[in-house]
Amino acid sequence: MPSETLRNRRPLSINTMSAAATTAEAAEEPEELEEPVSPAGRLFHRPEFNCYIIAVIGLGRRIDDLDTIKAGLAATLARHPRFSSVPVFDESAGKKPRWVRVDVDVDRHVIVPNLPPLPSAAAAAAGELVVEDYVSALSAAAAMDATRPLWELHILNLPTPSAAASAVLRAHHSLGDGASLTSLLLACTRRAGDPSALPSLPSAAPRPRPHHGRGRGPLGLLLWLWSLLAMAWHTLVDAALFAATAAFLADSPTPLKAPPLPPGDPLGVGRRRKRFVHRTASLDDVKRVKNAMGCTVNDVLVGVTSAGLSRYLSRKFDETDDVKKREKLLANLRVRSTLLVNVRPTAGIHDLAEMMKGGKDGPKWGNWIGYVVLPIPIALYSDPLDYIRKGKEIANRKKNSWEAFFTYWCADLIVKLFGLKAAATLCHRVLSNTTLSFSNIVGPVEEIEFYGYPIVYIAPSVYGHPHALTVHYQSYVNTVEMVIAVDEITIPDPHQLLDDLAESLELIKDSTETKS
């Protein structure tokens, strides 16, 4: 464990980013390509949603050849249309906001900070804290220079308990949604031991669809009509709850939820420094539970999140010795998560690799996302498997709804009718009235390398939105990385919360084996 001196020292200060500048200069560059900035992309440039995606990549050995990394980026990521463009919001000539292609100087996007030397004793533990502080400081750093493409890679040659070095990719959320950017990152990697082979993802199970009823007689037609009506009803209910959440329906005040915005602070928790912590768990354990319970990996992770948050809140309420609060925990605490769902299929890794190889347009790209509001049960079940049963029930219910498509269409309509500011206000209120963000991203099934450097783990997250807690799960080979981002004013003990998530998975797995 790091010494108390290291934990209490002053956080790192990042001064490598210049302040955000206007993009008028970028408009003077030769325009190889102009593409409109989507409404969601414009939304992520609003002050309320100036969001960034950040991914810590643990590497198996020190980066001793920076030129190889830069050459690899120049041949892949820097050739992607969005990663070689800048957003131009100069509408004086009657043009709409657009992406303009520019020349990419990779040297300006690769940052090697001057980090303090580590003590020889417990160097790995000390390195983990330095990396954690550095990534946290990035969330409080100045905005990226908007005269160049909005991404950068930070190289941290420090040992940690799980990696020999770390690479931190930071990209503005307007460049794409989390699933698309993860696919793009994987398209920049190759299988370990085979520099010509792209990673492969696990095959997705076919999603059941409502039976069309044709050629099945009256019974088939009746079943089809029933499933269609159920889908429509669920969507109507979800749409009503979404509207209520935007208007007045807020989650219960808990130690996990950011407090209401104070007077004079229109941005609140979204602009505060975040702390990012992660833990590696066994994907085989998750699959064991999945197979025993007859559900999906996502159902298991929803259940584990429910169990971990219940465990954490129970401890917090016990510390207060407040009987009413403990009773309320056992009653009906309202804790919900928002999920951003890509309403358009994500481009495949091979398609993205071909796009970057040619430096031309390929699969459709951008933020085509809708919201899903997911209830997270908070309860103290005597049987740990009840968390999985409840998670499966909630996930199945959400699968039988067009909520994501409805919210995407609704936001698009509001932008057209009332403007971007109204849409930003709507989305900000929905997030402010819920407790956390949740995401589960599927990773490769074999070990991969990042421009020749073996990857040990991938820990993605996001910051800039009005949640005090964000939970991400990222699978990789036979592991799953649990990643949480917290506002330390609201949640001052993120490692304890991470412990609760990991211990909940262990209890659920043990209970599955016992019942079997």
Total residue count of the chain as it appears in this document: 516
What is the number of structural domains in the chain? 2
Measure the CA angle with vertex 140, ends 138 and 145; round to 5°: 70
Q: Are 351 and 220 in contact (CB under 8 A)?
A: no
Domain end residue (candidates: 191, 211, 245) = 191
Please check whether residue 452 lies inside any domain of the structure.
no
Given this model, what pLDDT does residue 516 score?
65
103 and 236 in a common domain: no
Same structural domain, 339 and 405 = yes
Average pLDDT over residues 330-359: 78
Residues 112 and 151 in one domain: yes
Residues 406 and 480 placed together within one structural domain of the fold? yes
Mean pLDDT throughout 81-101?
A: 84
Type and span of the H or E element at 454: strand 453-463
**Per the domain annotation, does 280 fall within a domain?**
yes
Which residues does 65 contact at the CB level (< 8 Å), separation at least 6? 452
Cβ-Cβ contacts under 8 Å for 398 (sequence gap 6 or more): 238, 372, 374
Mean pLDDT, residues 472-499: 96
pLDDT for 7: 39
Q: What is the mean pLDDT of residues 233-250?
A: 95
**Is residue 457 in a domain?**
no
What single-letter DSSP state applies at residue 445? S
Are 181 and 318 found together in one domain?
no
**490 occurs within a structural domain:** yes
Residue 335 has pLDDT above 50, yes or no: yes
Same domain, 373 and 257: yes
pLDDT level of residue 216 (50, 70, 90 thresholds): low
Query: End of a domain among 153, 169, 191?
Result: 191
- Are 122 and 83 members of one domain? yes
Q: Between β-strands 479-487 and 369-375, what pairing exists: parallel, antiparallel or unpaired?
A: unpaired
Q: What pLDDT is recorded for position 18?
A: 33
Distance CA 427, CA 413 (A): 13
Is 34 a member of any domain? no
- The last residue of one of the domains, among 151, 173, 191, is 191
Percent of the chain with pLDDT over 70: 83
* CA 207 and chain centroid, separation: 23
Q: Are residues 166 and 45 located together in one domain of the fold?
A: yes
3-class secondary-structure state, position 272:
coil
> Which residues, 6 or more positions from 511, have their beta carbon under 8 angstroms from its beta carbon?
383, 384, 385
Please tell me the predicted confidence (pLDDT) of residue 231.
Answer: 92
**3-class secondary-structure state, position 441:** strand
In a domain, 197, yes or no: no
pTM for the model stands at: 0.88
Output the pLDDT for position 215: 52
CB atoms within 10 A of CB 446: 13
Mind listing the pLDDT tens digit for each residue in 183-193? 889 999 999 98
Pair (170, 275) in one structural domain: no
Co-location of 173 and 265 in the same domain = no
172 assigned to active site: no
* CATH number, position 177: 3.30.559.10
Q: Are residues 399 and 484 in the same domain?
A: yes
Q: Which residue has the higher pLDDT, 302 or 370?
A: 302
Structural domain range at position 293: 221-441+467-514
| Res. 29: pLDDT tops 50 | no
pLDDT tops 70 at residue 331: no
Sheet holding 52-59, edge to edge: 110-111, 151-156, 165-172, 52-59, 453-463, 448-450, 190-191
CB 466 within 8 A of CB 269: yes
Given a cut of 50, whether residue 42 has pLDDT beyond it is yes
Are 266 and 405 found together in one domain? yes
Is the pLDDT score of 6 beyond 50? no
Kindly report the average pLDDT of the chain as a whole number.
85
Residue 458 inside a domain? The answer is no
Task: Examine residue 13 and state whether it is found in any structural domain, yes or no.
Answer: no
Q: Which of the residues 172, 173, 428, 472 is marked catalytic?
A: 173
Question: What CATH code is carried by the domain that includes residue 299?
Answer: 3.30.559.30
